[in-house]
Structure formats: structure tokens, C-alpha cells
Homo-oligomer: A and B are copies of this chain.
């Protein structure tokens, strides 16, 4: 039992938020006393509806949340036209580089029927909200979510007004102090201060520095610390910085329930904390990921510069679909390239464990550390 402004707001036992794209992880975090948030950026409305219904069956009455990708500005053009226009902006030299890389590593075409991440949907979602934003929000608010977060930038007015009407708090993520004002103006109820050590899109300022800076700027809005937090001592450190709780992402990649492919998870278990890199080669924006031969190739003299978002993911997503499939099928060269988003906490991964075990251990170890800390200042003779 650790009580903060977040546990009061969400009605949870401990201020640990678990963010993941696997519904099973979300449900297990909530069931173990934390608060699961489904990362639904790449979900269709139908997929989101199925996932949230399933989560609700698992968690009984326990609260959970959802994270969607709603761009602040939406284009009005036809999605098919837009995708064609974006595709035309990708230089042939970039296509040749990626194709040549796949050839040199002997990465085969995808076997027919392989499930993949759909490139056009990603591009469309990133550029316009894909026309599906309203439908996604319809689905989200038709379920009994207790928090809605927006993955990139301040939440747009339509998201905030729907959330306020439904009595659902809105969370926004910042990587620099200067982004706090926009989030507060947009009307967020919770801020997530994400340090550079986090996986995925991240800035350059570390959690130790960013968290107190955001807290000072946030006024009465509770701040969660994100980045570098995968253990009880790290959760206690975040609370010591003044955070109302922690937002953990990477640690669930070491869980048995997480849906990331086996080849990637095996590389995570072997990695050290120094084996990640903040690179724009996957999404067009700097995102922390496991450093592999993929990044060496993009660092080679003569390699093209990564394109901006959303062109870079349109350029490379098909390549990643092929690399992932080949790596999971045992292709050694594909395993050398294989990578995915992950934070510096990957260095602490020892084996895959059930999400519930990870959650309970972080919370229990945090409580134990808080009790130990109290003894550092006790005068001799006191307990």
C-alpha cells in the first residue's frame, strides 16, 4: 500500500502504471494492484473494441486505461491520395539502400499469409489520424476506461472534451520542461515526465533531472516518472523525486505475456544497459531501441540520412516485417539485424517472468525500500 495523488485519483493500491500493447499484460498489471494502460496506437477500432472487452472480462471491476495516437492537427485529404503523395516523397536512393541491405543479409520475402504491421495504416495514422480517430475514441469511451493518454504531443480538444464529459482523466507525456505549458493548456489531468533512458520516442534529458523540473512546472497536476524504472528501488527513487507514481513501459518486454517476437525478446535478455541507442532510423524521430547491425548499416559512410516521420516508417516497415519473420524462423543474419524499442532497463532483464510476478515484486520492493530509507534518518536507539 503506497498512497499518492495517483492512487487516490484512480482508486488503485500502488502508483504503478504498466503501459503495453498486449491486452494480457494490461489485465495482469491491474489485477496485481497496479494500473494497466493499453497502448493502442496501431489498433483498428474493431481490434480496440475486442481488446478492451477482453481486458474487462479479466480485471472484474478493477480500473485500467488506454493510450491512443491522436495527432493535434488532422489533414482533410483522402487517405489513399495522401498515402500516394507521401510514397512519392521517398527518394529512390533510400529504397535502394533498404533493398540492398535486405539482399546482403539474405532476408527472404514474407511467406504468404504472415501477419504483419500494416505500413499504410501506420503512415495514415501518423499523418492524419487515419480517419479512424473518431471511431477509435467512440470505441474507447464506450468502455469503462479510467484514464486516457495521448501518445504524441498535447491531446486535441475533441479528446479532452469527450474525456471530461465521461469523467475520465487525461494523461499527457513530456520529454522537456518547455512542453509542460502546452499540455496544461490542453487540459491534461496527469503529466508523464519521460526521461531519455526510456524506450521508444524520447528526449535527451534524464529522468533524474526531468522529473523534478516537470513537477515544479506542473503546479497541482500529478506527475508520473517514466524511463529507467523497472524495480522497487527505482520506483522508490521516482517517489523521492516527488513523482505521484511511475509509468513503466520497457519492463513488460521481459514478461511471458508480452506479444513481441521471441527473437527480439531473446536479444533483450542478452543485452546490457549500454546496448540501446536513440535513433531516428525506425520512425523518423529519435526513439530508443536495441542497438544492432541495423544501426551499424545506417551509420556506414554513404548510407542515406533517415527521412522524417511518417516517411521513414513507410520506407522501413516492410523491411522490419521481413526481418522479424526471418529472425523468428531462425535466420542468423536476420537475428543480427533484429531490434525493437526498449529502454536502458533492458540490462536488468534476466529471464521472462509472468507480468503479475513482476508487478507484485516492484510494488513490494518499493515499499520495503521506503521503510529502509526511513531508518537512515532515525536517531540511534529508535527503530
Count, chain A residues at interface, CB 8 A: 49
Asked whether any CB of chain B lies closer than 8 Å to the CB of A369, the reply is yes
Give the Cβ gap from A9 to chain B, nearest Cβ, in Å. Answer: 15
Contact among B241, B348, B379 with A237 in the assembled complex (CB-CB below 8 Å): B241
Q: Which residues of A contact B (CB under 8 A)?
A: 1-4, 176-178, 195-197, 203-210, 212-213, 227-229, 231, 233-234, 236-242, 272-274, 344-345, 347-348, 367, 369-371, 373-374, 376-377, 379
Contact among B2, B206, B236, B240 with A228 in the assembled complex (CB-CB below 8 Å): B206
In the complex the two chains form, is B204's CB within 8 Å of A206's CB?
A: no
Give the Cβ gap from A12 to chain B, nearest Cβ, in Å. Answer: 14
Give the Cβ gap from A21 to chain B, nearest Cβ, in Å. Answer: 23
Contact among B4, B205, B237 with A240 in the assembled complex (CB-CB below 8 Å): B237
In the complex the two chains form, is A1's CB within 8 Å of B239's CB?
A: no
Q: How far is the CA of A376 from the CA of B228 in the complex (A)?
A: 22
Contact among B203, B236, B373 with A274 in the assembled complex (CB-CB below 8 Å): B203
Give the Cβ gap from A42 to chain B, nearest Cβ, in Å. Answer: 27
In the complex the two chains form, is B208's CB within 8 Å of A207's CB?
A: yes
Q: How far is the CA of A228 from the CA of B206 in the complex (A)?
A: 8
20 extra A-B contacts, CB within 8 A, seeds A206-B207, A236-B373, A239-B376: A1-B377, A1-B379, A2-B376, A3-B376, A176-B274, A177-B272, A178-B272, A178-B274, A196-B196, A205-B273, A206-B208, A206-B227, A209-B345, A233-B241, A237-B238, A237-B241, A240-B240, A240-B373, A370-B377, A371-B374
In the complex the two chains form, is B370's CB within 8 Å of A373's CB?
A: yes
Give the Cβ gap from A91 to chain B, nearest Cβ, in Å. Answer: 18
Give me 19 A-to-B residue pairs in the complex whose CB atoms sit less than 8 angstroms apart, sorted by A's number.
A1-B379, A176-B272, A176-B273, A178-B272, A196-B196, A196-B206, A203-B274, A204-B274, A206-B206, A206-B207, A207-B208, A209-B348, A239-B373, A239-B376, A240-B369, A240-B370, A370-B374, A370-B377, A374-B374
Give the Cβ gap from A215 to chain B, nearest Cβ, in Å. Answer: 9
Interface centre among A228, A238, A240, A241 (most CB of B within 10 A): A240
CB-nearest residue of chain B relative to A225? B208
In the complex the two chains form, is A234's CB within 8 Å of B210's CB?
A: no
In the complex the two chains form, is B240's CB within 8 Å of A177's CB?
A: no
In the complex the two chains form, is B242's CB within 8 Å of A228's CB?
A: no
Contact among B3, B231, B240, B367 with A239 in the assembled complex (CB-CB below 8 Å): B240
Give the Cβ gap from A288 to chain B, nearest Cβ, in Å. Answer: 10
Q: How far is the CA of A344 from the CA of B371 in the complex (A)?
A: 30
CB-nearest residue of chain B relative to A291? B204
Q: How far is the CA of A369 from the CA of B376 in the complex (A)?
A: 12
Chain B residues with Cβ under 8 A from A213's Cβ?
273, 347-348
Q: How far is the CA of A223 from the CA of B1 in the complex (A)?
A: 29
Chain B residues with Cβ under 8 A from A345's Cβ?
209
Contact A367/B373 with A205-B274, A240-B233 known, Cβ cut-off 8 Å: no
Q: How far is the CA of A203 from the CA of B275 in the complex (A)?
A: 12
List 7 tightest A-B contacts by C-beta distance, closest first.
A208-B228, A374-B374, A197-B206, A236-B240, A237-B237, A237-B240, A206-B206
Q: How far is the CA of A203 from the CA of B358 in the complex (A)?
A: 28
In the complex the two chains form, is A197's CB within 8 Å of B177's CB?
A: no
In the complex the two chains form, is A2's CB within 8 Å of B195's CB?
A: no
